[in-house]
Every structure is written in C-alpha cells, then in structure tokens.
Structure 1
Amino acid sequence: MPPISPFGRTVCAMVTPFTPDGALDLDGAQRLADRLVGGGCDGLVLGGTTGESPTTSDAEKSALITAVTEAVGDRARITAGVGSADTRHTVELARAAEKAGAHGVLVVTPYYSKPPQEDVAAHFRTVADASGLPVMLYDIPGRTGTRIEPDTMLRLAEHPRIAGVKDCAYDLLGSAKVIAATGLAYYSGSEEMNLPLRAVGAVGYVSTVANVAGPLLAAALDAFDRGENAEATRYHQRALPLIELMMASGLPGTVTAKALLNALDLPAGPVRAPLRAASPERTEALVTAYETAIAARAR
C-alpha cells in the first residue's frame, strides 16, 4: 500500500463552476465537490490549472476554499492551488488558503521568468515557511518553462512541510530516484502515467479526468493495490481513449472537463476568456468517449 499522505490518494483537480454569466458558483462548487467525494475522490485540488487559477481573483479563490471545505472537508483533503510567478504573492495566497480552511497547498514552479534551480528552491522554501500547511510541489515544465530538477527535489525534501509532488515532468527515471531516496508523496499529474508512477512508489494521482471519471481511475489504482495487476491494466487501458481526448487532443483539460460536465447536467458553467468552450462536435465526441469508458468499467 502507498504511504499515508496529507493530500489524499485519489485526488481530483476540480473545475471551478461559474454561473451562466461567468460569476463564481459556490453552490455548484459544493454540489460538484460532494459528487466527486461520493464517487471515490478522497482529495480535491481547488484553484489549480483546471480550476482556472489565472482568471480567478484572490477573493474568489478564498471563497471557493471556504465553501468546498464546509461541504466536504470532513470527508476529503482540500488542497489549494496557490502558485504564481511572484514569491510574495504566492506567500499571500498560501496564508489566505490556510485562513480559509485548506488542508494543504499546491505550489507550481514560478513561470515565465525561468529562475535558476537555487532560486526555484528558495521560492518553495519561502512559501513552505509562510504557513503551517503541508506543501505539494507542482513540477510541470511544459507549462512553466522550468523543471524542478531531481537534485533540487532531494534538497527540498529536507524541509519539514514540503510533503508531496504533483509530477507532470514525464521523467520516470528521475521521479523513481526521488521517490526511492525521500519520503515525498508523489502523485501522477498526467493520467496516462497513473499506473507507471504507482508501480515505482507514487501515492496516487491528481487528475482532471477525475471530474467525470473518478470511479474508473480509482478502480485501476485499487486493483493495483490489491495485487490484481491485470485488472488494474484493464481499467487503465479502458480509460485511455477518454484521457487522450480530454488531455491530449488540442484543448485544455479545463475546457474538455467543463464540456463534459455541462453535457451531463453537472455543475460547471462556462470557461473564462481567453479559454473558449468546446465545439458541439468536440463535446459530442467527448460524451461518446465518456459513455464508452463508463460502460467498459461496468463489464
């Protein structure tokens, strides 16, 4: 079994529901969070990339944390996305998240400025020192332009509040080395890597696809942890067409997740510009892939 983590195991990177006119929909967020937790997610990340962090205000982020924590905080771990390109602003967001009731924070590598590794490490340590919450590092060089190198991870693991990593680096060797050498709780941030990373010691996943297919993703992890590797592979393979269409077909996961949630009459609402809604044709394809994946799990 994976080690115990302060962030959960089957974690959904939850969308931020908006009303039709684009305002924050706190009632919808509570209803969606309740559904996700009831469907097997033992953790939620709020205000991350999928949660449209670049286009939500600091006040909206705090209000979302408070509302969702009130709804499901006794049943799931709530991790707040607090990353930004500015260390000072990230510290402010981490403190606000703690005040709003979050159980942990997700901190992405500072983007655009491309700081060197020592500066990256100093950024994370400063944020970790700013609150009493456990920190999950978010390594996604494809978006930020900067990797958290394995040697930097090893140094950061010495900090008492740096507890986990959301891994979107696509470096299985590097991740495996850090997992083997530290107590960091690793999470797959790319659904196609859920089983490969779990096989080398990761705790679980932080998933956009879990907004609509949480039970299917959890079934693969559960089967693996029971030692039923063939069954785990079957579930994983059944999810791959949906994963590909949602995450690797030219549209951001926020757009595809909201398209599916809206089609299923679940809380989501529009995306905020510069993102634009999926076309009817793409939404129809997503619904077909979703229905096929869910039907496959039932067999």
Structure 2
Amino acid sequence: MPHTSPFGRTLCAMVTPFTPDGSLDLDGAQRLADHLVGGRGGCDGLVLSGTTGESPTTSDAEKSALIRAVAEAVGDRARITAGVGTADTRHTVELARAAEKAGAHGVLVVTPYYSKPPQEDIAEHFRTVADATGIPVMLYDIPGRTGTRIEPETMLRLAEHPRVAGVKDCSNDLLGSSKMIAETGLAYYSGSEEMNLPLRAVGAVGYVSTVANAAGPVLAAALDAHDRGANAEATLHHQRVLPLVELMMAAGLPGTVTAKALLGALGLPGGPVRAPLRAASPDRTTALVKAYENTIAGQA
C-alpha cells in the first residue's frame, strides 16, 4: 500500500496570480486556492512558489504574503507546501523558516542548481534545511532543470532524517523511483503527469501537478479508480487527460505560461506571467481551451 503523507495526495502546483500590472494578486490567489480545493477542484494540497508559481521572479516578502493569504483562504481543507529552494543554502534556510512562520505545513526543497554540487554536499544542503524548521521537507528531484540528480544512495541517507518526509519525483526513472519507494519510508509524488498512474501503481502517494490548475478532477479520478481496483477506469481517465498534458507541458512552452493562459480563458485568477516568460499566443490559448473542453467532456 502507498505510504501516508503529511503533504496530501492530489497536490496542485499552483500558479501565482498577478494583477494586470504584474503585482502580486493576493485576492486572486485566495479565490484560485478556494476553487482548487473546493468540491470541484480535485486537490487536497497546494504547492506554492514552485516552478509553476514563478518563484525565481517573486520576492521573499511576496512568497510569505502568498502563504498567509492562501492559508487563510483554505483553512484546514488542504495542506500547504511552500517552495523554498534556491541555489544558496543560507537563503533556502531563511525561506524555509519564513514559510513555517507564515503557516505552511511543509516545504519543497529543490536540489541546488547551476553550481552542481557533489552528492555529499547536496545531502548536507537538504539536512541543513530540514534541521532549520519543525515542518516536513519534500525533496524535489528534477535533474533536467538543476543539472544534478539526487542519487539513490543520497536519497537513502536523507530518508533517515526525521523531517525528510517526501519526494517530488521528476527523474523519469521508474526503476530507480520504484526501488526508493520500496526501500524508504518516503512519500513519493509524481512531478510529471504522464507518470501519475505508473508511480501510483508502484506505491507512490500521489502527484504534484501543474495541469491540476485546470483539470484536477480528472487527474484525481485516475487515482481514485486505481485505489478502488478499477484499473480499466483508471487507465481511461489517465489516457483522457494526456492530450491536455502534452499541450500544456511538452509542446514548447513552460507549464506556467500554458496554465495561466488556460486559467485566464476559463475566467479564473492567474493574470500575466513575469519576464522573462511571455504570454501564450491566441492560437495556443485556443488550442488549450479545446483540449481542456475535450478532457472535461470525456470526464462527464
């Protein structure tokens, strides 16, 4: 059976809404969070200030304000995990402490990027952050962005820390992830929507999804069906959402851009992206809406 987790099960990597002039839109963030964790949103957890949340372009003060606003909006209906990862251990510790103070239930910590530290240095980075707060830590393994994998032996050592509780897995290594799920008590989350069902089948807890900003119920339905033993139904839900996943996540634009374009077209808070990102074209937005409508129609 999958491990239980302090982070939730069906997590949305939530966009950070901005006003038309690019300022932080806290009212929009509260409305979007309420929608995502409501009866039709499909999410029992929110990840704030991750890649999708445009964390490289938001200030430390904005990150804390976002946590406080979303925590107020969702109350006890969802778990809040705050992205605090940077390439600087001291800065990451500061963000983790600020996130805890602002009301986050956990923190998401990415492997330090660009400097490409060796494995023992990576392990020490994560341990230092975990030692600095009293809330659970989710490791973020995404070598395609950071340039460095959290190697299995490193993961095994980190799993011994009492506050290292989970992993957002974007390694695209089903064999390695399966082994870590089997050998550790870490709660694994798919960080790539096409891996949601495969990883769940080998013991992952759930997912952290950008696509869940718009199509959370369909993603959740696949896990729900799997857990009932309705494998054919789970596969159907999984396959139904793949065209939207491909258009949002694997068609040349960052997920932040496609998610905000789709949210805007659906009348939900999102607003513009911050530079260097640029808005999706009208043609891409039209295609996203069509894929979304086909996905939701199939769900109904």
TM-score normalized by structure 2?
0.99
Report the counterpart of residue 11 of structure 1 in structure 2. 11
Superposition CA RMSD, Å? 0.6
- Partners in 2 of 1:175 and 1:100 — Cα distance? 32
Deviations 1:91-145 (CA, angstroms, capped at 9, x unpaired): 0000000000000000000000000000000000000000001000000000000
SS in 2 for 1:5: coil
- Partners in 1 of 2:42 and 2:261 — Cα distance? 21
- Partners in 2 of 1:192 and 1:223 — Cα distance? 16
Structure 2 gap segments, 5+ residues each: none
Report the counterpart of residue 261 of structure 2 in structure 1. 259
Report the counterpart of residue 31 of structure 1 in structure 2. 31
- Partners in 1 of 2:155 and 2:198 — Cα distance? 20
- Partners in 1 of 2:97 and 2:148 — Cα distance? 25
Report the counterpart of residue 299 of structure 2 in structure 1. 297
- Partners in 1 of 2:298 and 2:181 — Cα distance? 33
Report the counterpart of residue 131 of structure 2 in structure 1. 129
Match of 1:46 among 45, 48, 52: 48
User: For the Cα contact (< 8 Å) 2:96–2:129, is it kept in 1?
Assistant: yes
- Partners in 1 of 2:185 and 2:149 — Cα distance? 20
Deviations 1:175-209 (CA, angstroms, capped at 9, x unpaired): 01110011100000000000010011000000000
Does residue 230 of the first structure (1) align with residue 225 of the second (2)? no
- Partners in 1 of 2:223 and 2:87 — Cα distance? 33
Deviations 1:227-261 (CA, angstroms, capped at 9, x unpaired): 00000000000000000000000000000000000
TM-score normalized by structure 1?
0.99
Structure 1 gap segments, 5+ residues each: none
**1:26 partner amino acid:** L
**1:23 partner amino acid:** S
**1:242 partner amino acid:** L
Report the counterpart of residue 274 of structure 1 in structure 2. 276
Report the counterpart of residue 145 of structure 2 in structure 1. 143
**1:161 partner amino acid:** R
SS in 2 for 1:202: coil
> Deviation of residue 151 (structure 1)?
1.1
Does residue 119 of the first structure (1) align with residue 118 of the second (2)? no
Report the counterpart of residue 77 of structure 2 in structure 1. 75
Runs of 4+ in 1 over 3 A off after TM superposition: none
- Partners in 2 of 1:54 and 1:66 — Cα distance? 19
Identical residues among aligned pairs (%): 87
- The alignment of Structure 1 onto Structure 2 pairs a total of residues equal to 298
Deviations 1:212-241 (CA, angstroms, capped at 9, x unpaired): 000000000000000000000000000000
Write the mapping of 1:138-287 to structure 2, written as runs, cut at 5 A.
Answer: 138-287=140-289
> Deviation of residue 40 (structure 1)?
1.9
- Partners in 1 of 2:19 and 2:239 — Cα distance? 35
SS in 2 for 1:74: helix
